[in-house]
């Protein structure tokens, strides 16, 4: 009999994800932390390996698995300043409903943008006491704020974001490649922080045609692959010069995979993310005027989508995050179907896991791998060492998931603020049955999330 005194919660099941494999196990939780993990062998889980009079015991149903909560490191909450677009309460309810137990909020679309410590303080105050999952923050790099970067690192941001092309909001201007390199040089020496880059080249975007059009092909031509390629090359070269940890945000163009692979082989400290929309949607299927599908960089063709999946499978792309970026209907549908007028951004925070899982399963990819891409890998990259795994000492952020249960997306039933998503009506598999944050089931009424600061870096951060 294992000593299980004082456990608050025990979850047992036939399929618990431990070290990359589903095994029968029991997980014991105390004080929000996983304190005991017991393999139960291959047969039915014997009763009471972890027996504790005080503990609440949950036995998973036959169709359920237990996975670590997802870590979505790319979310635009927009509060304060554009709270009518999205806010901490609605975004984090959506996260919890989708099995995401930690989000890291992007520095822009909120006003003020998170480019100074005082702006970070404003944002933290706005988030306090209304978050249903744990929330960390990115800082922003904009022209002229080099002196603010180290103080933001000390204040606990998980890394920084910059744009190499206009961001869509005036208060968060892009930087030049030289300005990006200056920031990289500062961040390389600032607790080995991380610079994440929206990699589209401003000049190539400006030089492309931008007609008013309801035809998705016209929008696609306005954000050419070459613009991503050129900007990614700049990130690689400047990251190699400075030795910074760099991260390519929302990779859309598979043309860049070869140069990303080469950079990684040569030791550039680089990671790459992509998003559910690039992996599950394709340009050929976007209806005329359907601006719910507009995002930057854009969703490209079906062959490109296949190549992105291959990029994940060979490890050139490291992780999958939502880039949840909602807006109200009057902006998302501005121009009545004109892709040049509509706000670019896709809302998918609650749907990421079933979207990616549905498509992965069709392609013969296992759920264990999906969870690696959506939980463990993002947690590692931003230095959330206690998240992204079920193991003794890790946070008891756990998701009960029914991987074979089908459902139809109903935009109006999603938790984020506006019932707009390109996935409305889509048939998916994989239902989140329960989400535990620090060992407590998340409900829709009690916000128990915490505001996180980046822990001191360890050797693990590569």
Min dist CB 103 to Zn ion, Å, is 12
Which CB atom, from 105 or from 323, has the smaller least distance to Zn ion? 323
Nearer to Zn ion, 79 or 323 (CB): 323
Beta pairing class for 65-68 and 398-408: antiparallel
Is position 181 an interface residue for Zn ion (rule: CB under 5 A)? no
Instruction: Tell me the CA end-to-end span of the chain in Å, nearest whole number.
Output: 40
CB of 391 to Zn ion, least distance (A): 30
Nearest partner of 164 among 111, 269, 243, 239, judged by Cα: 239
Query: Considering the complex, what minimum distance in angstroms separates the CB of residue 342 from Zn ion?
Result: 16
Candidates 317-325, 330-338, 372-380, 398-406; binding stretch for Zn ion (CB under 5 A): 317-325
Cβ closest to Zn ion, residue 106 vs residue 204: 106
Helix (H) or strand (E) run with residue 44 in it: none
Would you say 64 or 323 has its CB closer to Zn ion?
A: 323
> Taking phi first (over 0 means left), then psi (-120 to 50 degrees means alpha), and beta for anything else, what does residue 121 get?
alpha
CA distance 124 to 129: 10
Site for Zn ion in 86-125 (CB under 5 A): none
Q: CB neighbours of 173 closer than 8 A, spacing ≥ 6?
A: 142, 143, 163, 166, 167
154 contact partners, CB below 8 Å, separation of at least 6: 191
Q: Which residues on adjacent β-strands are paired with residue 161?
A: 140, 196
Residue whose structure tokens are 């013969």? 364
Site string for Zn ion, 265-304 (x = CB under 5 A): ----------------------------------------
Number of H helices, E strands in the chain: 14, 17
Smallest distance, Å, CB 416 to Zn ion? 15
For Zn ion, how many residues bind (rule: CB under 5 A)?
A: 1
Output 345 or 449, the one with its CB closest to Zn ion. Answer: 345
Pick the closer one to Zn ion by CB: 72 or 323.
Answer: 323
Which residue number, 24 or 197, has a Cβ lying nearer to Zn ion? Answer: 197
Give me the least distance between CB of 102 and Zn ion, in Å please: 17
- Residue 139: strand, helix, or coil: strand
Segment contacting Zn ion by CB under 5 A, of 163-171, 174-182, 316-324, 413-421: 316-324
List beta partners, residue 401. Answer: 65, 432
In angstroms, what is the minimal distance from the CB of 167 to Zn ion?
A: 9
Distance from the Cα of residue 40 to its chain's centroid: 32
Q: How far is the CB of 22 from Zn ion (least distance, A)?
A: 32
Residue with the CB atom nearest Zn ion in the bound state:
323
Q: Least separation, in Å, of the C-beta of 441 and Zn ion? A: 30
Residues 6+ apart with CB under 8 A from 425: 408, 409, 410
Minimum distance from residue 77 beta carbon to Zn ion (Å) = 11
Q: Looking at beta carbons only, is 132 or 138 nearer to Zn ion? A: 138
Query: 93 or 198, CB closer to Zn ion?
Result: 198
Query: What is the contact mask toward Zn ion in residues 124 to 143, using x (rule: CB under 5 A)?
Result: --------------------
323 binds Zn ion (CB under 5 A): yes
d(CA 374, CA 405): 20
Q: What 3-state class would DSSP assign to 103?
A: strand
Least Å distance, CB 411 to Zn ion, is: 20
Q: How far is the CB of 41 from Zn ion (least distance, A)?
A: 45
What is the distance between the alpha carbons of residues 378 and 271, in angstroms, rounded to a whole number?
A: 10
With b for 16 or more beta-carbon neighbours within 10 A and e for fewer, the 299-325 pattern comes to bbeeebbeebbebbeeebbbbbbbbbb
The window from 47-55, 172-180, 252-260, 322-330 that contacts Zn ion (CB under 5 A) reads: 322-330
C-alpha–C-alpha distance, residues 223 and 338, integer Å = 15
User: CA dist 122 to 57, 81, 100, 115, 264, Å?
Assistant: 40, 10, 24, 11, 37
- Tell me whether residue 273 or residue 338 sits nearer to Zn ion (CB atom): 273
In the bound state with Zn ion, the residue whose beta carbon lies nearer, of 323 and 397, is 323
List residues binding Zn ion (CB under 5 A): 323
């Amino acid at each position: 009999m294992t000593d299980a005194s004082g456990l608050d919660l025990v979850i047992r099941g036939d399929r618990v994800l431990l070290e990359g494999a589903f095994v029968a196990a029991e997980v014991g939780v105390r004080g929000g932390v996983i304190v005991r993990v017991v393999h139960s062998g291959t047969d039915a889980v014997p009763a009471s390996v972890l027996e504790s009079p005080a503990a609440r015991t949950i036995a998973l149903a036959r169709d359920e698995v237990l996975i670590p909560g997802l870590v979505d490191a790319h979310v635009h909450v927009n509060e304060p300043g554009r709270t009518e677009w999205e806010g901490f309460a609605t975004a984090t309810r959506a996260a919890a409903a989708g099995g995401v137990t930690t989000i890291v909020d992007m520095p822009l679309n909120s006003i003020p943008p998170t480019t100074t410590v005082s702006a970070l303080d404003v944002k933290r105050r706005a988030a306090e006491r209304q978050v249903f999952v744990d929330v960390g923050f990115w800082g922003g790099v904009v022209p002229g704020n080099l002196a603010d970067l180290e103080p933001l690192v000390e204040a606990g941001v998980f890394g920084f974001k910059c744009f190499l092309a206009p961001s869509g909001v005036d208060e968060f201007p892009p930087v030049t490649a030289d300005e990006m390199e200056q920031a990289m040089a500062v961040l390389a020496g600032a607790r080995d922080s991380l610079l994440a880059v929206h990699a589209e080249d401003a000049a190539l975007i400006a030089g492309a045609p931008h007609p008013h059009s309801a035809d998705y092909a016209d929008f696609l031509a306005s954000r050419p692959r070459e613009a991503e390629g050129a900007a990614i090359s700049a990130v690689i070269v400047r990251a190699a010069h400075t030795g910074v940890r760099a991260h390519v945000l929302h990779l859309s163009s598979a043309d860049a995979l070869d140069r990303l692979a080469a950079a990684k082989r040569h030791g550039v400290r680089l990671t790459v993310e992509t998003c559910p929309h690039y992996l599950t949607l394709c340009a050929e299927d976007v209806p005329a005027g359907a601006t719910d599908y507009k995002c930057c960089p854009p969703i490209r063709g079906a062959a490109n989508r296949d190549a992105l999946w291959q990029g994940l499978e060979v490890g050139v792309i490291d992780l999958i995050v939502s880039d949840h970026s909602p807006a109200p209907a009057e902006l998302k549908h501005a121009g009545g179907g004109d892709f040049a007028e509509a706000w670019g951004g896709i809302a998918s925070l609650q749907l990421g896991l079933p979207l990616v899982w549905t498509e992965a399963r069709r392609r013969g990819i296992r759920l264990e791998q999906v969870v690696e891409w959506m939980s463990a890998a993002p947690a590692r990259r931003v230095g959330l060492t206690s998240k992204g795994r079920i193991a003794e000492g890790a946070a008891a952020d756990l998701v009960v998931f029914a991987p074979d249960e089908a459902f139809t997306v109903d935009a109006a039933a999603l938790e984020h603020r506006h019932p707009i998503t390109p996935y409305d009506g889509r048939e998916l598999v994989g239902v989140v049955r329960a989400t535990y944050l620090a060992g407590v089931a998340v409900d829709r009424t009690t916000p128990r999330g915490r505001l996180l600061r980046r822990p001191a870096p360890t050797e693990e951060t590569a």
